[in-house]
Amino acid sequence: MARAKIALIGSGMIGGTLAHLAALKELGDIVLFDIADGIPQGKALDISEAGPVDKYDSTISGTTDYADIAGADVCIVTAGVARKPGMSRDDLLGINLKVMKSVGEGIKEHAPNAFVICITNPLDAMVWALQKFSGLPSEKVCGMAGVLDSARFRHFLAEEFNVSVKDVTAFVLGGHGDTMVPLTRYSTVAGIPLPDLVDMGWTTQDKLDAIVQRTRDGGAEIVGLLKTGSAYYAPAASAIEMAEAYLKDQKRLLPAAAALSGEFGQKDMYVGVPTVIGAGGIERIANIKLSKEEQAGFDKSVDAVKGLMEACIAIDGSL
Ligand code: TXD
């Protein structure tokens, strides 16, 4: 059986890391695409040259020509600009919306059967615009943010409880931003819900609240430290987990920005929800029951995303 083909649209900090991780896991042959001539080709050659050491036979190529992504099974989109200190994710909208238009046209023409994972910020608006620009079925276009946000949450919880990250599960809902909604009652250590761990004295509610806030601020914390850009190792690892679930039909239940058609009382928009990812793409959305407080947090996040969508429509009336 022919190897899968993975196209990385954007070969910057996340794109290069995606290529390296996909090669290490031998998920398929990899095409790095960018408009900055030399970057995709240089990174592709460098990662190829690591192949003999790490023993992967994936072919990795770099290009500035969309024709070279032809027939891709997965497209992971990081094209656009990233934040600098003092910028919010929303500040990127004006520039990145235009980038999504060109990326959407490229995918529509050359890889219409791909499973598309959008990473570009502001994520929930960009993935919605990308699906419209590309015209791909909505179940084949999703956004990566929830896996990253829950991974950040899980890392902080594992540190707090001094337990293996392997046994910490976490649930986050809503947009990728300050309004994200970490669900503590569905987050556990080996199935023990966080509220029970508070009752057991493993942590306090104040410490838990601080961890939730640090998760919300996770992106800004790294931007403030790096000063030259934003996070890329954990975002890349998160998108690769989603791509693997599609390529291997794993039916993983993962948080993702997905198209809603009535779930959680919303439709015609993308926002972070629990999804089942398999060979059909976003195969199901777990329409979990939310408490009044959780629903209010989710609705606030939905309103923030709708505000970004309106800003997009004001810029590009074709949306
Ligand atoms: O969880 C999440 N979704 C976020 C997303 C986590 C971290 C970063 N997040 C966003 O991903 C970030 O705010 C950016 O919007 C993207 C990509 O972040 P990255 O750190 O990889 O940005 P880089 O290093 O600037 O890479 C972007 C590349 C760069 O090489 C540009 O030349 C290229 O995008 N680029 C384009 N490629 C194709 N087509 C067009 N039009 C284009 N414009 C720029």
Average pLDDT, 10 consecutive residues per value, the chain (319 residues)? 95 98 98 98 98 97 98 98 81 93 98 98 96 98 97 98 98 86 94 97 97 95 94 98 98 98 95 98 96 94 95 95
Q: Is the CB of 32 under 6 A from ligand 1?
A: no
Q: Is the CB of 17 under 6 A from ligand 1?
A: no
Q: Write down the pLDDT at residue 34.
A: 98
Q: Is the CB of 36 under 6 A from ligand 1?
A: yes
Enter the pTM of the model. Answer: 0.98
Q: Write down the pLDDT at residue 203.
A: 97
252: annotated binding-site residue?
Answer: no
Tell me which residue has its CA closest to atom 14 in ligand 1.
82
Which position among 20, 110, 155, 176 bears the catalytic label? 176
14: annotated binding-site residue?
Answer: yes
Q: Write down the pLDDT at residue 91.
A: 82
54 and 96 in contact (C-beta within 8 Å)? no
Candidate from 31, 34, 226 with most ligand 1 atoms within 8 A of CB, to mutate: 34
Q: Write down the pLDDT at residue 139.
A: 98
Tell me which residue has its CA closest to atom 17 in ligand 1.
78
Active site residue 176: yes
Does the ipTM surpass 0.85?
A: yes
Measured in Å, residue 283 CA sits from the centre of ligand 1 at: 27
What single letter denotes the amino acid at residue 161?
A: F
Environment class of 134 (CB within 10 Å of its CB; exposed 0-12, middle 13-18, buried 19+): buried
Categorise residue 10: left if φ over 0, alpha if ψ from -120 to 50, beta otherwise.
Answer: left
Measured in Å, residue 154 CA sits from the centre of ligand 1 at: 25
Q: Write down the pLDDT at residue 177.
A: 75
12: annotated binding-site residue?
Answer: yes
Token code pair at residue 294: 């959780």
192: annotated binding-site residue?
Answer: no
Measured in Å, residue 12 CA sits from the centre of ligand 1 at: 6
Q: Smallest Cα–Cα separation from 183: which of 175, 193, 191?
A: 193
100 and 130 in contact (C-beta within 8 Å)? yes
Measured in Å, residue 34 CA sits from the centre of ligand 1 at: 10
Environment class of 42 (CB within 10 Å of its CB; exposed 0-12, middle 13-18, buried 19+): middle
Q: Write down the pLDDT at residue 1.
A: 81
